Amino acid sequence: MIRKGSIIRCCPYPAFFILPCNKSIGSTTYIIYFKTIVMSQQSSSFLGSEEQPLSTPTSDERTMAILCHVLCLVVSFIAPLVIYLVKKDESKFVAEHAKESLNFQITCVIICVVLFITIIGIFLLWLFGIIATILIIVATIRASEGKVYRYPFNIRLIR
């Protein structure tokens, strides 16, 4: 039995709200309203996870998000730090990508220092560099698609 104000879930994301309508004579008629509860879908793999942003980013926002990741290949953590400080109040999409990229670069520096201290780690630095470069390229592609990307291993110091 359907009651007044009840919620029917047909899948994890949308919900149907059933509300009474008193426009009919003699009996109560119900109107079904459809409302989306969660707008982002998340997919995950060993290369990281991605989610759809709540609003569609503009081309300028996508460009800044791409620059957050690509410039890390040249100037490490300075580019995402500057972009985050300049654009954090203007765009949530750019701020999310800049924070994620900055956290990844800080994580990379920490891992490189730990690997450099250990004798065996010195030989693994080149392998870590290749993996980091691949992840940066994947993040750049996801930013160009307008998706929010999460690196698979990342110490999130900046929230």
pLDDT tens, residue by residue, 22-65: 444 555 544 444 333 233 445 556 566 666 776 788 889 899 99
Residue 158 pLDDT: 82
* Residue spans per domain, the chain: 7-36, 42-150
* Half-sphere exposure at residue 65, Cβ-oriented, CA atoms within 13 angstroms: 29
Entry pTM: 0.67
Residue at 2: amino acid letter:
I
Q: How far apart are the first and last CA of the chain?
A: 45
Residue 87 pLDDT: 87
Distance CA 47, CA 135 (A): 7
Going residue by residue through the chain (159 aa), what tens digit of pLDDT does each one get?
444 444 444 334 344 444 444 444 555 544 444 333 233 445 556 566 666 776 788 889 899 999 999 999 998 889 999 999 998 888 888 999 999 999 999 999 999 999 889 888 888 888 999 999 999 999 999 999 888 888 888 888 888
Rounded to whole angstroms, the maximal C-alpha distance in the chain is 85
